Structure 1
Amino acid sequence: MSLEDADCPPLSDVCSGGAAYEEDDSDGWDEMEINIEQTTCLFCPLQFHTIAVALDHCRSEHKFDLLDLKNKYNMDCYSYLKMVNYIRLQKPDPRILTESSVALWDDDVYLKPGDMETWLMYDFDDLGSAPSTPHYAIDGKTPISNINFSDLQKQIQDLTMQVRHRDLLLETYLKDMEKMREVTRTIVESGESTNRKMAHNVVSSGCESNDYFNSYSHFGIHHDMLNDKVRTDSYRDAILKNANSFKDKTVLDVGCGTGILSMFSAKAGAEKVYGIDQSEVIYKAMDIIRENNLQDRIHLIKGQLEKINLPVEKVDIIVSEWMGYFLLFEGMLDSFVYARDTFLKPNGIVLPNRCNISIVGVSDTDRYDRVINFWDDVYGFSMKCMKAEVFKEAFVETVPEDKLLTNAQAITEIDLKTCNLNACIFSSKFTLTAEKDGTLTAIAGYFDTFFDLDNNVQFSTGPHVDKTHWQQTVFFLADVVHMKRGDIIEGTLSCTRLTKNVRGLSVTITIGKSKYQYVMD
């Protein structure tokens, strides 16, 4: 597409007073239809005939001075477009924009075209310069008395061409960005296919995995999490039953998803809640916040936590449902720790503040036959070679309580107020005692979560309580152990990160002379 292809009358026909004007003795007003689209204020429903009057209204009524903002952030036209789209999408209080130390709209996601409106056609580059269109109206009227009709027509056509030209540039810019993303993605994927070495204690300062965050764009996942009453009721009770800790406080919700924890916090009396999420579901969360009339107290930000800037320097409380399977697999502990170390005030509160991982022995020969011995005879063919691969996998499933063989034992505890990123790397000895006769076919892992406040709340994901969406993580044993009540097995469980996927885990279980290696990827 070129500018010559644009559906725009030649400037010479409009501005030179040529043939089009010689055929008519009128003053020319009928030669051009001027469609005056009213401008809606950026922060309220009021409408105005011109941008200039709307700017004056924003300055006087909302204390929002666009020229001051332009100078403060050294904004260009692209930054202006992102700012308008940000305001329309997020609907922030103007004070958040003017008082923030950073440009909150500085994310390419806000270049995504939205509804066309007069603000997006404003000649932002000329803001504050003379003799451009006035910065503000005078007494509510735009001072155009010195502009004659011919000049006005020329300005309209020039501005129309500028808008179309910028639309073309913006379209090209977005296409170039997508090409760059594809090239980068190809380079990264090809790089990951090589065998790279990384020390076992090297950890991530944030995950770049699009697949991980894209998975949380599927609404079925959020339905499962919200429908998990153990999880959601516990967070609700921890927040609402400790409203005295939230009253007039500033809260950061890490990985806010649909915004349920943000809304609990606001209901508990928090003065301001900032929710951050990298997945696309945050756009629906914004609708949910507005649907519940909480947009004045909850401000949502799309982006990677490690790369965003908050409108405030520090917060009083951090809430997050960061836990994954086996607590640490595909969890967001790294982001939680980063948020705590970067944004939490000294003596601030983190919720939850403590978690532990426990294991228990399982005796379920029927399940063992379906998963493991199945490969002995598959439609008359032996596929025993598959067993070695199956034994490397950890299974996420619900263990029936009547299949528990031993007592449970906690193997690690994480204090979320003080832990570092190496909390994912641990080794623990265990001793499990059979509580009945049976065959030890697997070790099951689960976690407990604690909210230690004035009114303490905790929940477990173990097989002895109501089911959660985390269920349990089952490690099948190649060498089953026949046990009598009172028999003891001793062993060691070690956990570390995968080098190719920092959200993945490598788990090693040693029982006697048998050593089992499992990959959670």
Structure 2
Amino acid sequence: MHEFPGNRRRRCPGSVSRHPQLGSLRAAPRRLGAFHQIDQGDTSMSDDQVNYYYYLNLIKDQQRVEAFGTAIGRTVKPGDVVVELGSGLGTYSFFAARAGARKVYGIEKGGIVRTAEQLARLNSLAQIVEFVEGDSTDISLPEKADVLILENFSSLFVRRRLSEIIQDALERHLKDKGRVIPEKASMFLAPFTEESLWRECLRLEDTGWELYQLDLGLLRQMMLNSPHVIRAGAGSMLASPQFFKQVEIARPSEFLFDVILTYRIEKRAILHGLLGWFDLQISDGVCLSNAPWNADSTWGQVAFPLAQPRPVEAGEKITVRLSCQRGTIRDDLWWAWQCTTQSGVSESCSLHGLPFQVAEFE
């Protein structure tokens, strides 16, 4: 099988090494809540219930957790004040405390805060780690931090309100010349072929979109105009991936983009869509990626399906456009993507899951 340059998993020294100060954390006892095995993308069930399945799935990602743990152990100095945004179970806050932080503030707006507080007591860290429930942009802390930690990213890094949250944290929660974990994110895109992945995005394709004597064809259009989180293999890519944007988290800028990329197709196939992911530099020498060749990542990748899959030939040049812009309702992100091949043009836009042409999106 042809292997594109860089398809092997890239490791920075120490990217998944175990830091001696991290130790082990005891899990919360069963009495803390029920185990809800539902969609892991949904972090809450109701005002008084927590989707523990989501958080347990995150903490089981040993590669990601240990990489962040290593970076925290190298970055946090004795006596530091640390702020973690979106602290969840508090894992990284606990790592910071064990690395020598004088005080750690874990900010989390979900009900998982109460579980994190109990975990802090169980692990004898409650005197150092304090959890604050609420939105970080609404909270005022008694002191600024030497280190800011955050990890609440989408499978292509950008997500709703991310730049606003980071900008606010840098201005109000972090000292001048404070350190940020992670340091930067680099985004990549590649065309892919795999009918099973394309059908996974559609879910009901095998039914003809007719169930219970109902015509559900509109839902097909909505699914084809929406990004999807999937798990793809490196063998599904039709061309070498291309880097298209880098974000330095300590130097906030607009995370939105509108890029045009050109690819040379490697083999004859059906082009089913575009595949996106990001590489994360967590700290100097500690890196992490959710690229297709990293099967261990819980992030997966983002698939942008083509409304009309296109045949492509080896050596054919295709042009791709990918846009991510801010919406006008609830600060949602609007995605638009377009592929131009020898056989035609396919374009989609995710304005609340409804079909739009790229020209309308602009």
Fold agreement, TM-score > 0.5: yes
SS in 2 for 1:307: coil
SS in 1 for 2:350: strand
The alignment covers a number of residue pairs equal to 304
Q: Distance in 2 between matches of 1:306 and 1:385?
A: 38
After TM superposition, give the deviation of residue 391 of structure 1 in Å: 1.2
2:188 counterpart (358, 368, 380):
358
Change (3 A) 1:476 1:341: same
Q: Distance in 1 between matches of 2:48 and 2:170?
A: 25
SS in 2 for 1:325: coil
Q: Distance in 2 between matches of 1:252 and 1:434?
A: 45
The residue that corresponds to 1:516 in the other structure is 348
Q: Distance in 2 between matches of 1:255 and 1:332?
A: 12
Q: Is the 8 A contact 1:213 1:278 kept in 2?
A: no
Is the aligned partner of 1:264 residue 2:95?
A: yes
1:316 counterpart (127, 133, 146):
146
Structure 1 stretches of 5 or more lacking a match?
Answer: 1-209
Instruction: Give the AA of the match of 1:514.
Output: S
Q: Which has the higher contact order (CA 8 A, sep 6+)?
A: 2
Q: Distance in 2 between matches of 1:481 and 1:286?
A: 52
After TM superposition, give the deviation of residue 285 of structure 1 in Å: 0.8
Q: Distance in 1 between matches of 2:81 and 2:46?
A: 26
After TM superposition, give the deviation of residue 477 of structure 1 in Å: 0.5
After TM superposition, give the deviation of residue 492 of structure 1 in Å: 1.6
The residue that corresponds to 1:348 in the other structure is 178
After TM superposition, give the deviation of residue 246 of structure 1 in Å: 2.4
Q: Is the 8 A contact 2:278 2:289 kept in 1?
A: yes
Q: TM-score, normalised by structure 2?
A: 0.76
Is the aligned partner of 1:494 residue 2:326?
A: no
Change (3 A) 1:262 1:499: same
Q: Is the 8 A contact 1:394 1:519 kept in 2?
A: no
Is the aligned partner of 1:396 residue 2:226?
A: no
SS in 1 for 2:56: helix
The residue that corresponds to 2:206 in the other structure is 374
After TM superposition, give the deviation of residue 307 of structure 1 in Å: 2.2
CA RMSD of aligned residues (A): 2.7
After TM superposition, give the deviation of residue 338 of structure 1 in Å: 0.9
Instruction: Give the AA of the match of 1:400.
Output: G
Change (3 A) 1:368 1:315: closer
Q: Is the 8 A contact 1:357 1:410 kept in 2?
A: yes
Instruction: Give the AA of the match of 2:290.
Output: T
After TM superposition, give the deviation of residue 260 of structure 1 in Å: 0.6
Asked which structure has the greater CA Rg, the reply is 1
Is the aligned partner of 1:299 residue 2:149?
A: no
Change (3 A) 1:397 1:365: same
Instruction: Give the AA of the match of 2:180.
Output: V
After TM superposition, give the deviation of residue 501 of structure 1 in Å: 2.6
Q: Is the 8 A contact 2:166 2:252 kept in 1?
A: no
Q: Distance in 2 between matches of 1:215 and 1:463?
A: 37
Q: Is the 8 A contact 2:155 2:290 kept in 1?
A: no
Instruction: Give the AA of the match of 2:125.
Output: L
The residue that corresponds to 2:82 in the other structure is 251
Q: Distance in 2 between matches of 1:251 and 1:377?
A: 51
The residue that corresponds to 2:270 in the other structure is 439
Which structure has more helix as a fraction of its residues?
1
What does the per-residue CA deviation read over 1:330-359, in whole Å, with 9 as the maximum and x for residues that have no partner? 574432221111121111101111112211
Is the aligned partner of 1:463 residue 2:292?
A: yes
Instruction: Give the AA of the match of 1:465.
Output: N
Change (3 A) 1:302 1:441: same
1:327 counterpart (157, 174, 192):
157
What does the per-residue CA deviation read over 1:194-242, in whole Å, with 9 as the maximum and x for residues that have no partner? xxxxxxxxxxxxxxxx9799699321111111112232121112112x1
Which structure has more strand as a fraction of its residues?
2
1:233 counterpart (53, 58, 66):
66
Change (3 A) 1:213 1:501: farther
After TM superposition, give the deviation of residue 261 of structure 1 in Å: 0.6
Q: Distance in 2 between matches of 1:498 and 1:339?
A: 22
Q: Is the 8 A contact 2:272 2:306 kept in 1?
A: yes
Instruction: Give the AA of the match of 1:488.
Output: K
Is the aligned partner of 1:413 residue 2:243?
A: no
Instruction: Give the AA of the match of 2:347.
Output: K
The residue that corresponds to 2:31 in the other structure is none
Structure 2 stretches of 5 or more lacking a match?
Answer: 1-42, 354-362
Change (3 A) 1:333 1:228: farther
Q: Is the 8 A contact 1:216 1:279 kept in 2?
A: no
Q: Is the 8 A contact 1:323 1:331 kept in 2?
A: no
What does the per-residue CA deviation read over 1:402-453, in whole Å, with 9 as the maximum and x for residues that have no partner? 2222211122211111113x32x21111122223221111111112211233
Q: Is the 8 A contact 1:375 1:384 kept in 2?
A: no
Instruction: Give the AA of the match of 1:316.
Output: D
Q: Is the 8 A contact 1:375 1:383 kept in 2?
A: no
SS in 2 for 1:306: coil
The residue that corresponds to 1:281 in the other structure is 112
Q: Is the 8 A contact 1:395 1:475 kept in 2?
A: yes
Change (3 A) 1:304 1:329: closer
Q: Distance in 2 between matches of 1:349 and 1:212?
A: 34
Q: Is the 8 A contact 1:432 1:490 kept in 2?
A: yes
Map 1:101-120 → 2, pairs under 5 A: none
